[in-house]
Amino acid sequence: MNMDPDIFREALAEFEGAVGPAHVKWRPEELAPLAKATIPQPRRPGAVVYPGDSQEVEAVVRIARHFGIPLWPCSKGRNWGYGSATPVEEGTVVLHLERLNRILEVNDELAYAVIEPGVTYRQLREHLDRHHPDLWCDCTDGTPHGSVLGNALDRGLGTTHYADHFGTLCGLEVILPSGETLRTGGGVENCHTWHTHKWGVGPYIEGLFSQSNFGVVVKAGVWLMPRPGSFVSFTFDLARADDLPQLVDTIRRLSLEGVISSAVHLINDVVTLSVLAQYSPEQLQRYSRLPPEELARMRQEYGVSDWSFGGGIQGRPSMVRAARRELRRALSPLGRLMFVDDRLIGVVRVLLGWRKRPWLRGFIDGAVRVVTGKSPAMLEAAPEIHGVLKGIPSDYFVRHAYFKSPLPKPVESHPDRDDCGITWLAPIVPMTGEHVSRVVSLCKDYFDRYEFDFYVALLIQNPRSMIVLTAIFFRKDDAEQCKAAESLYQELSSAIAASGYQAYRVGTPGMRALAGKNPQFHAFLKSLKNAADPGNLLAPGKYGL
Ligand code: ADP
């Protein structure tokens, strides 16, 4: 951004006047930690402004408009691997909404909440547990401190049958680039269905505010789940890697039929290892990826299979029993299926307690291996997996970001703070064994060529589409690895697009390239953007806009 420094300082003074000086960060020393992101080359924001309510958001938008300063809205800025809180264009001012963190309403009867953008998964879950115990919310397997709305607006995916986060938003309040406030759909005065009927009447425009830059969402309805009468989670390990296409076809059928309704995360060995383990200092020094013999040794040590997945089944007890039967029938021929309920998790917790006594540890570890075929590390993971599949957020999984970090996995993860290098690249494909295998092997070729560990998770987005979520783990303190990660990202993105697949979600490094992909689509959006935001004030460059 080329801005006259005097005008910029004047604008900062006005921002300070609107939200209070303590809530505007622009000095180099306070901006440096906020400008960090796990992607290879994050763009520096010009400042970060933290309004305290929607009136202050409005004031900030009007000031920015007056001075022609672009704004990058974010809710909690934990968009790790996609750019965190950093913008596409250098110098854009981040409009950080974490202080807007009120849960405004919970409707027990109709199972929805109305929340502000700074509300986190943990906050919402704890609030429900305490005050509305008959309701559950979904979460991601990312940080508990992520924003419910931020993730939904970027169309993130969760872990339960309410995993399609944008799909569960209903009724938005948005501040437009003009500074005016808009309510979508049924958000007119006295309308009772604002948070119950997603489509409103007439054109549906909520989509314009997701993966886009048409407004700042300051309030939204989020649908919640009734606490189920029965809940069981399951884990599955594929016996033969060659059966992956057959497994994908089986999962699609189960999903189309409604036997599987939760989000399945079908993960490869590197994903499991990144959660359970970490590079040793020697490995970090010697390799940019684990050589096959090291990978094989670690797989053995941690009892990791080529492909595995977990899922949840919830509902009335009879429904859960029927789903278990169907899953067993469909999946048992392909590998090992295990069901886990709260009682079993209780036993696991007792065993984990006993494991703390050195004289019992060896005996328990041996017994776990013989009875379940799993490693002790998996035993520790079991309560976390079972919990996250119920929508209970956990910091456990996001520690995978420290797989190639010289730091030990912390209690409270913050990969930006700790200079972890991770960037997501996530094509979406029709959910057939053929499409999935084609894209997985295309990605693997590129990862091998660039000598990075091949991390891939296959996520059900809906019963017809699967996300092939890959992550490039690299060392931020190694210039060569940063460069290689960037090149791999750009080249693989182009190769995926050339093969006829699109991205499910894009990080800031991939946004520029989107502009040329579908000319009519972009021309139409551009004309809308010109009308709504003639100064290109909001999040310039976001998703190619
Ligand atoms: P999280 O902390 O849940 O990861 P972020 O705050 O990082 O979410 O936001 C994720 C994405 O959604 C970013 O691209 C951000 O620009 C966009 N976004 C987040 N909150 C809003 C909002 N309230 N209005 C408009 N866009 C938003």
Give the separation between CA 313 and CA 231, rounded to whole angstroms: 6
Percent of the chain at pLDDT > 70 equals: 100
* Atom nearest to 148 CA in ligand 1: 3
Secondary structure of 402-430 in the HEC alphabet? Answer: HCCCCCCCCCCCCCCCCCEEEEEEEEEEE
* Atom nearest to 539 CA in ligand 1: 16
The mean pLDDT of the chain is: 95
pTM of the model: 0.95
Q: Is 38 in the pocket of ligand 1 (CB under 6 A)?
A: no
Q: Confirm if 213 and 540 have CB atoms less than 8 A apart.
A: yes
pLDDT in tens, 182-192: 999 877 777 89
Q: Confirm if 438 and 431 have CB atoms less than 8 A apart.
A: no
Q: Confirm if 441 and 458 have CB atoms less than 8 A apart.
A: no
Nearest CA to ligand 1 atom 15: 74
Beta bridge partners of 321: none
Give the separation between CA 136 and CA 346, rounded to whole angstroms: 21
Give the separation between CA 430 and CA 437, rounded to whole angstroms: 11
Percent of the chain at pLDDT > 90 equals: 90
Return the best residue to mutate from 153, 173, 422 for the ligand 1 pocket (most ligand atoms within 8 A of CB).
153
The CB density around residue 159, as the number of other CB atoms within 10 Å, is: 28
Q: Confirm if 50 and 98 have CB atoms less than 8 A apart.
A: yes
Cα of 248 vs centre of ligand 1, distance in Å, is: 31
Determine the pLDDT at residue 355: 87
Q: 358: pLDDT confidence band, cut at 50, 70 and 90?
A: confident
Q: 1: pLDDT confidence band, cut at 50, 70 and 90?
A: low
Does the structure show a pLDDT above 90 at 362?
no
The pair of three-digit structure tokens given for residue 88, joined into one six-digit string: 């596409």
Q: Regarding predicted confidence, which is higher, 513 or 317?
A: 317
pLDDT in tens, 462-508: 999 999 999 999 999 999 999 999 999 999 999 999 999 999 999 99
Q: Is 77 in the pocket of ligand 1 (CB under 6 A)?
A: yes
Return the best residue to mutate from 75, 82, 175 for the ligand 1 pocket (most ligand atoms within 8 A of CB).
75
Does the structure show a pLDDT above 70 at 309?
yes
Q: Regarding predicted confidence, which is higher, 540 or 375?
A: 540
Does the structure show a pLDDT above 80 at 346?
yes
Return the best residue to mutate from 79, 115, 120, 143 for the ligand 1 pocket (most ligand atoms within 8 A of CB).
79
Beta bridge partners of 227: none
**Phi, psi for 530 (deg, rounded to 5):** -60, -35
Return the best residue to mutate from 74, 80, 209 for the ligand 1 pocket (most ligand atoms within 8 A of CB).
74
Determine the pLDDT at residue 46: 96
Cα of 121 vs centre of ligand 1, distance in Å, is: 14
**Phi, psi for 178 (deg, rounded to 5):** -75, -15
Q: Is 288 in the pocket of ligand 1 (CB under 6 A)?
A: no
Determine the pLDDT at residue 372: 77
Rg over alpha carbons for the chain, rounded to the nearest Å, is 23
pLDDT in tens, 50-83: 999 999 999 999 999 999 999 999 999 999 999 9
Q: Confirm if 445 and 518 have CB atoms less than 8 A apart.
A: no
Q: Which of 420, 453, 419, 441 is nearest to 495 (CA)?
A: 441
Give the separation between CA 313 and CA 91, rounded to whole angstroms: 47
Q: Which of 227, 221, 226, 210 is nearest to 103 (CA)?
A: 221
pLDDT in tens, 435-450: 999 999 999 999 999 9
Q: Confirm if 280 and 410 have CB atoms less than 8 A apart.
A: no
Does the structure show a pLDDT above 70 at 269?
yes
DSSP 160: S
Determine the pLDDT at residue 242: 97
Pseudo-torsion of CA 28, 31, 32, 34, nearest 10°?
Answer: 180
Ranges of H-type helices in 20-165? 28-34, 54-67, 121-131, 148-153
Helix (H, G, I), strand (E, B) or coil at 9: helix
Helix (H, G, I), strand (E, B) or coil at 354: helix
Q: Which of 226, 231, 228 is nearest to 341 (CA)?
A: 231
The packing angle between helices 376-388 and 342-355, to 10°, is 140
Give the separation between CA 164 and CA 341, rounded to whole angstroms: 24
* Atom nearest to 82 CA in ligand 1: 14
Nearest CA to ligand 1 atom 8: 150
Determine the pLDDT at residue 517: 77
Q: Is 306 in the pocket of ligand 1 (CB under 6 A)?
A: no
pLDDT in tens, 204-249: 999 999 999 999 999 999 999 999 999 999 999 999 999 999 999 9
Give the separation between CA 252 and CA 468, rounded to whole angstroms: 15
